[in-house]
């Protein structure tokens, strides 16, 4: 493939068999990316169903990076703390030398989840030996160590929402809130030729604690990649939560205990908030909640100090000297307790609610509670997240333990499915790419797909190309180059000058080049003051129609389909793929800077 052909299309391949544990390779504008590094938890083989749970090793599968040249990958983009767990295998055991980007909460919660996994799997409490098998590079591999985790974390660069990062090669990236968890992000990858968005676990729920989802990236893009879709829920999320809460309260009133297998971050914070508020409304204010995890204390503290990444409602609590998240208040009122080991929970008198890992039911101290509570028909387990799509294994597993009641309320997974599917099918992207599970037949076009959107299913390990319509490359004319040209006044008595450049622009690929027009600020003169960056951005937004606007440290950035305006305190820059639109925008700005303010 020629350089021009590689620039006019993107190449993408899924490196995992299950899109619920995403890892994708994307070459965009000749810049190679890795999108997420999730670690897949496999269900045990069927023979394990007839054995005691302590005999079942956890099966972990690392993305198959051997399908690509990992040493040539320049950048890794991480969406959330669940999709980072395979990263130490990449940074510490391959030839990868590129840069990694993620938000601060994603990095810190990811660190905690890695540490807990190493602690849970390194030594099984039932057998005294390691309780895992890692499949990596078509071979069995040891799990990474605590030292590997620290080395990996040190290589990650922290980013903020709406922070544009120039990666060179005419490519820039920006993280946008996914609404799924604290620091959860979807990524936008841009160049003069195309804009590609990558969407993993997302939520448009307003009841959560994290920043609401930013849907701006999906309004006008050339291609959108959506992963972590699931089976469509049979009931709306609100109805499922209400049903779960009713059964949960009935269980407590009858003297039963409630077990929720979850990871000690993310969805757990929302479940604590939802459940505690409902208990209060039902008069069960004193019902204690216990969290069992070696990282529970640090996770609870970390969540309460992530003000930048919270919803506006939660941020407001910070300015009123209140704990921003409900679990902080429950700790103060001694209604929420954290434990390193399950044994300390059994010292409390029930009924109570216990959050414990692992959600797959294959590791962690959840097995201790199942063993102790299995013969009491009053007890209840609420299955969420990863265990929900392992329901076949869950059912057999719990029947073996004689547990008599199961309520499968896939809270987190349902939210991901519904909201990702909504964003996917309603996007106005020209192309929609959805990775498929291995062995799944290629589906038909979703019925809610926007007209004009091309649906591209992505089978595991099959390279797919996404073509683009434009073929631009950015070049910049430096100040020293302009000295050879005589400046021309735009009109009589105008202080604004422009340089007219004619001739051929040379590029190694002989491309049509886009020229960035830099307009110097107008000096203050009699009766006229230069408008503020905010005023310029607001006026241009009204004149040119639908747009997105971003606040940056020195001004504003406003974007349309084919234009981008940077209105900064000391500079105004126009970029775009349509020279006519650029000229119209330039004319409007000239009129603004000449008008009295």
pLDDT in tens, 27-41: 998 899 999 999 998
The fold adopted by the segment(s) 9-232+413-461 is: Metallo-beta-lactamase; Chain A (3.60.15)
- The 10 Å CB-count burial string (b at 16+, else e) for 540-560 is bbeebeebbbbeeeebbbbbb
The predicted structure's pLDDT at residue 421? 55
Half-sphere exposure of residue 371: CA atoms within 13 angstroms, side-chain side? 12
Contact between residue 67 and residue 16 where contact means Cβ atoms under 8 Å apart: no
pLDDT tens-digit map of 52-90:
444 456 889 999 999 999 999 999 999 999 999 999 999
The domain defined by 239-409 carries CATH number 3.40.50.10890: yes
Residues forming beta bridges with residue 473, ordered by sequence position: 513
Whether pLDDT at 172 is above 70: yes
In this model, does residue 477 exceed pLDDT 60?
no
117-131, 342-356, 501-515, 522-536: least confidently modelled range: 501-515
Both tokens of 20, joined, read: 């619920």
Sheet with 555-559, side-by-side order of all strands:
517-519, 572-576, 563-568, 555-559, 548-552
Fold agreement (9-232+413-461, 239-409): no
334 vs 507, more confident: 334
Q: What are phi and psi of 292, to 5 degrees?
A: -110, 110
The residues, ordered by sequence, that sit 6+ positions from 533 with a Cβ below 8 Å of its Cβ are 554, 555, 556, 567, 568, 569
Asked if residue 504 has pLDDT above 50, the reply is no
- CA–CA distance, 541 with 549 (Å, rounded to integer): 8
**Across the chain, which distance is largest between two alpha carbons, in Å?**
92
Helix, strand or coil for residue 265?
A: coil
Q: What's residue 127's pLDDT?
A: 65
Q: Which of 8-12, 167-171, 576-580 has the lowest mean pLDDT?
A: 576-580
pTM over 0.95: no
Residue whose entry in the numeric block shows the structure tokens 């004619």: 502
Confidence of residue 44 (pLDDT cuts 50, 70, 90): low
pLDDT confidence of residue 419: 52
Kindly state the helix (H) or strand (E) to which residue 573 belongs, with its residue range. strand 572-576
pLDDT surpassing 80 at residue 263? yes
Q: Are 412 and 265 in contact (CB under 8 A)?
A: no
Q: Which of 290-304, 314-328, 494-508 has the highest mean pLDDT?
A: 290-304
Whose structure tokens read 């905690």? Answer: 112
CB distance 113 to 120 below 8 Å: no
* Measured distance CA(555)–CA(533) in Å, rounded: 6
For 53-62, 129-138, 152-161, 426-435, which range has the lowest pLDDT when averaged over its residues? 53-62
Q: Write down how long the chain is.
A: 597
DSSP symbol at 454: E
The angle formed by the CA atoms of residues 157, 62 and 79, to the nearest 5 degrees, is: 35
Query: Looking at residue 233, what is its pLDDT?
Result: 57
Distance separating alpha carbons of residues 414 and 237, to the nearest angstrom: 7
Q: Where are the domains of the chain?
A: 9-232+413-461, 239-409, 473-594
**Phi, psi for residue 141 in degrees, rounded to 5:** -135, 145
Q: How many helices (H) and strands (E) does the chain have?
A: 15, 33
């Amino acid at each position: 493939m020629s350089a021009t052909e590689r620039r006019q299309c993107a190449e993408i391949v899924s490196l995992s068999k299950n899109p619920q544990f995403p890892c994708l390779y994307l070459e965009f504008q000749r810049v190679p990316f890795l999108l997420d590094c999730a670690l897949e938890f496999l269900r045990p083989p069927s023979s394990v169903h007839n054995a005691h749970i302590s005999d079942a090793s956890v099966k972990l599968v690392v993305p198959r990076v051997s399908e690509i040249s990992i040493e040539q990958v320049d950048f890794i983009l991480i969406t959330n703390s669940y999709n980072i767990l395979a990263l130490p295998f990449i940074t510490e055991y391959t030839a990868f030398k590129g840069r990694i980007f993620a938000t601060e909460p994603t990095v810190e919660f990811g660190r905690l989840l890695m540490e807990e996994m190493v602690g849970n799997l390194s030594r099984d409490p039932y057998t005294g030996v390691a309780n895992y098998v890692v499949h990596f590079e078509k071979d069995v591999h040891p799990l990474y160590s605590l030292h590997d985790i620290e080395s990996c974390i040190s290589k990650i660069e922290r980013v903020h929402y709406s922070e544009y990062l120039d990666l060179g090669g005419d490519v820039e990236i920006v993280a946008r809130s996914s609404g799924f968890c604290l620091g959860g992000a979807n990524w936008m990858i841009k160049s003069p030729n195309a804009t590609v968005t990558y969407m993993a676990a997302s939520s448009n729920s307003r009841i959560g604690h994290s920043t609401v989802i930013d849907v701006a990236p999906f309004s006008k893009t050339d291609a959108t990649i959506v992963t972590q879709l699931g089976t469509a829920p049979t009931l709306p999320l609100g109805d499922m939560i209400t049903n779960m809460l009713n059964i949960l309260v009935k269980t407590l009133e009858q003297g039963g205990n409630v077990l929720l297998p979850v990871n000690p971050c993310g969805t757990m914070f929302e479940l604590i908030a939802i459940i505690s508020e409902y208990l209060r409304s039902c008069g069960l204010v004193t019902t204690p909640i216990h969290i069992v995890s070696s990282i529970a204390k640090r996770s609870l503290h970390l969540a309460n100090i992530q003000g930048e990444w919270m919803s506006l409602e939660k941020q407001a609590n910070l300015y009123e000297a209140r704990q921003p998240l409900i679990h902080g208040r429950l700790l103060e009122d001694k209604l929420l307790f954290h434990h390193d080991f399950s044994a300390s929970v059994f010292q409390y008198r029930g009924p109570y609610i216990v959050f414990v890992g692992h959600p797959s039911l294959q590791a962690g101290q959840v097995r201790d509670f199942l063993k102790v509570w299995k013969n009491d028909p009053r007890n209840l387990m609420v299955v969420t997240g990863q265990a929900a799509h392992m329901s076949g294994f869950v059912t057999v597993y719990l029947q073996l333990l004689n547990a008599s009641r199961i309520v499968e309320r896939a809270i987190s997974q349902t939210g991901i499915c519904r909201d990702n599917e909504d964003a996917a099918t309603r996007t106005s992207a020209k192309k929609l790419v959805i990775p498929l599970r291995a062995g799944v037949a290629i589906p038909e076009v979703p019925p809610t797909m926007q007209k004009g959107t091309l649906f591209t299913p992505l089978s595991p390990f099959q390279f797919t190309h996404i073509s683009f319509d434009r073929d631009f490359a950015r070049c910049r004319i430096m100040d020293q180059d302009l000295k050879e040209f005589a400046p021309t006044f735009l009109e009589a008595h105008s202080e604004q000058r422009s340089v007219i450049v004619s001739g051929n622009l040379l590029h190694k690929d002989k491309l049509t080049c886009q020229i960035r027009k830099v307009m110097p600020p107008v000096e203050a003169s009699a009766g006229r003051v230069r408008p503020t960056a905010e005023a310029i951005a607001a006026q241009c937004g009204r004149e040119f129609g639908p747009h997105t606007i971003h606040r940056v440290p020195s001004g504003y950035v406003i974007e349309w389909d084919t234009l981008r305006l940077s209105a900064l305190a000391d500079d105004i820059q126009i970029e775009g793929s349509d020279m006519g639109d650029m000229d119209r925008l330039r004319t409007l700005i000239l009129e603004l800077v000449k008008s009295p303010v």
